[in-house]
Amino acid sequence: MITLQTPISEEEIRALHTGDIVRLSGTIVTARDAAHKLMIENFIRTDTIGYPELYEKLKPLLKGGVIYHCGPVVAQNEDGSYRFVAAGPTTSIREEPYEAEVIEHFGVRAIIGKGGMGPKTLAACEAFGAVYLHAVGGAASLIASAVEEVQDVFMKDELGVPEAFWVIRVKDWELVVTMDSHGSSLHQQVKEQSEARFKELVGLV
């Protein structure tokens, strides 16, 4: 078991390989479709920064940080604070058009989600020192128990609860490295092996 604490260094990431199990603690940020689109359009593919206050808040959180593809179910406590009721991973491939640029621009070290990502993201992981960490789908309530605190939320009113940037503190969250910084993807390996086996079964080889 490998322990990771945010912010994570490039050296720590380069030491990881597909199949490694990690135990993650520290502050991470949720972001899915609308949040990624907002970052690309307002922070990366633009000459003028939109939402400058948000940009300045996200930069230190994402440098050496972790993005979690998640649309949480959130409850509000009596004191006005929030807690995660369910925090299951979102299918990550939807962010494939954006993720490589987000990793490069902000210096993100890890992406968490389910289902893996494609060649652009894998190339960015190799070039800039990042990994993809696979979370178990269907375990939303269990994952929420690893969220010790909701520290902040950005763009909740504008994007809605599932699409907002939630800043959360997690402790001892166990995840599996399925895409590393050395060009290896377990998702691609499984796909290739499955296709080869299918061809064998139907007599195509």
Q: Does the pLDDT value for residue 198 go beyond 60?
A: no
Does residue 3 sit in helix, strand or coil? strand
Supply the pTM of this predicted model.
0.91
Place of tokens 């502050």: 27
Taking residues 19-28, report their average pLDDT.
Answer: 97
Please enumerate in sequence order all residues whose Cβ is within 8 A of that of 88, keeping only pairs 6 or more positions apart, or say none.
Answer: 70, 135, 137, 138, 139, 140, 143
| Amino acid 199: pLDDT | 61
Least confident residue range of 35-44, 75-84, 123-132, 193-202: 193-202
Q: pLDDT exceeding 70 applies to what percent of the chain?
A: 92
Neighbours of 146 (CB within 10 A): 20
**DSSP result, 76-88:** E-TTS-EEEEE-P
Is 134 an active-site residue?
no
Which CATH number characterizes residue 80's domain? Answer: 3.20.130.10
Total number of domains in the chain: 1
Catalytic one of 17, 36, 69, 182: 36
Structural domain boundaries, residue 191: 2-201
- Closest-CA residue to 104 (of 152, 160, 158, 45): 45
**pLDDT tens per residue, range 116-129:** 999 999 999 999 99
